[in-house]
Amino acid sequence: MKSASIQEIKKEIINLNKTDLAALCIHLAKYKKENKELLNFLLFESHDIDGYIQSAIEEIDELFLTINLSHVYFAKKTLRKILRITNKYIKYSGNKQVEVELLIHYCTKFKALGFHKMKSQALNNLLEAQIKKIYNAIESLHEDLQFEYLRDVEML
């Protein structure tokens, strides 16, 4: 099946009435959990970004408590899982400030575990890649916010 372009979909959505559009959104939300989560964010959480960041940080903190510290392999798997969830929160918001705050929090918690000091190249690469993402996201922010966040990243 060939899918239409975004412009074609946008034109078609504009021509729909409210009830058809609502039915279409509900139908879309039924098929994938990610669609439902995104719709939940857009409807209920997008107006309160600070609350959204706080709830994401709380979930990340809870996930960091579940890391199996006895073996590096299991720790790597859990760290990647937490990063996937963090990236999901970032993707839903589409906001660079949310991206910077959540990635800084992730990296801070990661470093607090002490795994980055081990001889695991995969964990070092994971941490360095996130720090690069933070710097790239900071560049698109306002100058005052850049200064504030750069100070936080330097501590990492």
Mean pLDDT (whole number) for 116-128:
79
Mean pLDDT lowest among 61-65, 83-87, 124-128: 124-128
118 within domain boundaries: yes
CB 86 within 8 A of CB 103: yes
State the burial class of residue 114 (Cβ atoms within 10 Å of its Cβ: 0-12, 13-18, 19+): exposed
Q: Mind listing the pLDDT tens digit for each residue in 19-74?
A: 998 998 899 889 999 989 998 998 899 899 999 999 999 999 999 999 988 888 88
pLDDT at 4 exceeding the cut of 90: no
10 within domain boundaries: no
Cα dist. 40→3, 26, 28, 79 in Å?
25, 11, 12, 25
What is the pTM (predicted TM-score) of this model? 0.86
pLDDT at 124 exceeding the cut of 90: no
41 within domain boundaries: no
76 within domain boundaries: yes
Residue 116: per-residue pLDDT: 58
16 within domain boundaries: no
7 within domain boundaries: no
33 within domain boundaries: no
Three-state SS across 89-154?
A: HHHHHCCHHHHHHHHHHHHHHHHHHCHHHCCCHHHHHHHHHHHHHHHHHHHCCCHHHHHHHHHHHH
Q: Helix 121-139 to helix 143-155 angle, to the nearest 10 degrees? A: 160
Which residue did the predictor score with more confidence, 70 or 99?
Answer: 99
- Count of structural domains, the chain: 1
58 within domain boundaries: yes
Residue 154: per-residue pLDDT: 83
pLDDT at 118 exceeding the cut of 80: no
CA angle 23, 29, 32 (to 5 degrees): 150
Q: Which domain holds residue 87?
A: 48-155
Res. 147 pLDDT band, cuts 50 70 90: confident
Res. 121 pLDDT band, cuts 50 70 90: confident
Mean pLDDT (whole number) for 95-118:
87
